[in-house]
Protein backbone atom coordinates (compact mmCIF):
# COMPACT_ATOMS: atom_id res chain seq x y z
CA UNK A 1 0.00 0.00 0.00
CA UNK A 2 1.45 3.36 -0.94
CA UNK A 3 1.91 6.08 1.72
CA UNK A 4 -0.67 8.46 0.19
CA UNK A 5 -3.46 5.88 0.42
CA UNK A 6 -2.47 5.06 4.00
CA UNK A 7 -2.53 8.74 5.00
CA UNK A 8 -5.94 9.18 3.33
CA UNK A 9 -7.29 6.08 5.07
CA UNK A 10 -6.03 7.30 8.46
CA UNK A 11 -7.52 10.77 7.86
CA UNK A 12 -10.95 9.39 6.91
CA UNK A 13 -10.86 7.01 9.89
CA UNK A 14 -10.10 9.95 12.19
CA UNK A 15 -12.95 12.00 10.73
CA UNK A 16 -15.35 9.07 11.22
CA UNK A 17 -14.19 8.60 14.81
CA UNK A 18 -14.65 12.30 15.62
CA UNK A 19 -18.14 12.24 14.06
CA UNK A 20 -19.17 9.23 16.16
CA UNK A 21 -17.80 10.73 19.39
CA UNK A 22 -19.47 14.14 18.78
CA UNK A 23 -22.80 12.49 17.93
CA UNK A 24 -22.61 10.37 21.08
CA UNK A 25 -21.82 13.44 23.22
CA UNK A 26 -24.66 15.52 21.73
CA UNK A 27 -27.16 12.71 22.23
CA UNK A 28 -26.00 12.20 25.82
CA UNK A 29 -26.29 15.91 26.60
CA UNK A 30 -29.74 16.11 25.00
CA UNK A 31 -30.86 13.08 27.02
CA UNK A 32 -29.43 14.42 30.32
CA UNK A 33 -31.10 17.81 29.82
CA UNK A 34 -34.40 16.11 28.82
CA UNK A 35 -34.57 17.94 25.50
CA UNK A 36 -35.51 14.99 23.24
CA UNK A 37 -39.07 16.14 22.49
CA UNK A 38 -38.09 19.74 21.91
CA UNK A 39 -35.21 18.76 19.63
CA UNK A 40 -37.42 16.46 17.54
CA UNK A 41 -40.40 18.81 17.23
CA UNK A 42 -38.75 22.22 17.53
CA UNK A 43 -41.60 23.47 19.71
CA UNK A 44 -43.89 21.54 22.05
CA UNK A 45 -47.01 22.27 24.08
CA UNK A 46 -47.00 21.51 27.79
CA UNK A 47 -49.71 22.02 30.39
CA UNK A 48 -48.45 25.50 31.26
CA UNK A 49 -47.29 26.79 27.87
CA UNK A 50 -44.96 26.39 24.91
CA UNK A 51 -41.38 25.18 25.10
CA UNK A 52 -38.69 25.62 22.45
CA UNK A 53 -34.91 25.53 22.33
CA UNK A 54 -32.79 28.54 23.12
CA UNK A 55 -30.04 29.61 20.76
CA UNK A 56 -27.49 26.88 20.10
CA UNK A 57 -29.63 24.42 22.09
CA UNK A 58 -28.61 25.76 25.51
CA UNK A 59 -31.76 24.83 27.44
CA UNK A 60 -35.43 25.52 26.87
CA UNK A 61 -37.44 28.72 26.73
CA UNK A 62 -40.97 28.66 28.08
CA UNK A 63 -43.84 30.89 26.99
CA UNK A 64 -47.17 30.86 28.84
CA UNK A 65 -50.35 30.42 26.83
CA UNK A 66 -51.51 33.81 28.18
CA UNK A 67 -48.57 35.40 26.31
CA UNK A 68 -49.70 34.02 22.94
CA UNK A 69 -51.72 36.59 21.01
CA UNK A 70 -52.55 34.71 17.82
CA UNK A 71 -51.77 31.62 15.76
CA UNK A 72 -51.91 31.20 11.98
CA UNK A 73 -50.81 28.68 9.37
CA UNK A 74 -48.62 29.71 6.49
CA UNK A 75 -47.88 27.51 3.47
CA UNK A 76 -44.16 26.82 3.12
CA UNK A 77 -43.78 28.59 -0.21
CA UNK A 78 -45.05 31.85 1.36
CA UNK A 79 -42.48 31.67 4.19
CA UNK A 80 -39.42 32.88 2.25
CA UNK A 81 -41.51 35.55 0.51
CA UNK A 82 -42.81 36.84 3.86
CA UNK A 83 -39.28 36.85 5.29
CA UNK A 84 -37.84 38.77 2.34
CA UNK A 85 -40.63 41.33 2.56
CA UNK A 86 -40.04 41.61 6.34
CA UNK A 87 -43.70 40.82 7.03
CA UNK A 88 -42.79 39.84 10.59
CA UNK A 89 -40.07 42.45 10.92
CA UNK A 90 -36.72 41.64 12.46
CA UNK A 91 -38.31 40.13 15.58
CA UNK A 92 -39.08 36.67 14.18
CA UNK A 93 -37.55 33.47 15.53
CA UNK A 94 -37.35 30.55 13.10
CA UNK A 95 -37.76 27.14 14.75
CA UNK A 96 -37.71 24.98 11.65
CA UNK A 97 -37.13 21.27 11.97
CA UNK A 98 -38.87 20.21 8.77
CA UNK A 99 -38.26 21.59 5.32
CA UNK A 100 -41.20 22.03 2.92
CA UNK A 101 -43.79 21.81 5.71
CA UNK A 102 -46.51 24.28 6.65
CA UNK A 103 -45.33 27.00 9.02
CA UNK A 104 -47.15 27.82 12.26
CA UNK A 105 -46.82 31.55 12.97
CA UNK A 106 -47.25 32.37 16.66
CA UNK A 107 -47.53 36.03 17.63
CA UNK A 108 -46.55 36.81 21.22
CA UNK A 109 -47.86 39.59 23.46
CA UNK A 110 -45.82 42.32 25.08
CA UNK A 111 -42.33 43.64 24.47
CA UNK A 112 -40.01 40.74 23.67
CA UNK A 113 -36.85 40.13 21.77
CA UNK A 114 -38.87 37.98 19.36
CA UNK A 115 -42.46 39.00 18.64
CA UNK A 116 -43.10 36.06 16.31
CA UNK A 117 -42.22 32.37 16.46
CA UNK A 118 -42.18 30.52 13.14
CA UNK A 119 -42.28 26.77 13.73
CA UNK A 120 -42.68 23.63 11.61
CA UNK A 121 -44.10 20.93 13.92
CA UNK A 122 -44.90 17.39 12.73
CA UNK A 123 -48.65 18.11 12.38
CA UNK A 124 -48.91 21.87 11.73
CA UNK A 125 -52.70 22.10 11.39
CA UNK A 126 -53.31 19.94 14.48
CA UNK A 127 -50.70 21.91 16.44
CA UNK A 128 -52.24 25.25 15.45
CA UNK A 129 -55.77 24.08 16.26
CA UNK A 130 -54.75 22.71 19.64
CA UNK A 131 -52.80 25.87 20.45
CA UNK A 132 -55.77 28.06 19.54
CA UNK A 133 -57.92 26.14 22.03
CA UNK A 134 -55.28 26.52 24.78
CA UNK A 135 -54.72 30.25 24.39
CA UNK A 136 -55.93 32.02 27.50
CA UNK A 137 -57.30 35.54 27.56
CA UNK A 138 -55.29 37.54 30.09
CA UNK A 139 -57.25 38.98 33.04
CA UNK A 140 -58.57 42.48 32.52
CA UNK A 141 -59.14 42.15 28.77
Residue 37 maps to a domain: no
CB 82 within 8 A of CB 75: no
CB 36 within 8 A of CB 22: no
What range does the domain containing 91 cover?
Answer: 42-134
Residue 93 maps to a domain: yes
Please indicate, yes or no, whether residues 124 and 63 belong to a single structural domain of this protein. Answer: yes
Residue 84: CATH number of its domain = 2.30.29
The string of pLDDT tens digits covering residues 117-139 is 888 888 899 999 999 988 865 54
Total domains, the chain: 2
Please indicate, yes or no, whether residues 47 and 101 belong to a single structural domain of this protein. Answer: yes
DSSP label at residue 109: P
The answer, yes or no, to whether residue 42 has pLDDT greater than 90, is no
- Spatial CA neighbour of 95 closest among 40, 31, 30, 23: 40
The answer, yes or no, to whether residue 95 has pLDDT greater than 80, is no
**What's the pTM?**
0.70
Give the chain's mean pLDDT. 84
Please indicate, yes or no, whether residues 102 and 53 belong to a single structural domain of this protein. Answer: yes
Amino acid sequence: MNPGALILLMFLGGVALVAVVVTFLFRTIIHKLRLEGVVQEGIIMTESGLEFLRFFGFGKTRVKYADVESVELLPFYKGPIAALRLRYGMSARWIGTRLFNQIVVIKLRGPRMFQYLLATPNDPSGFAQQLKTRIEVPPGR
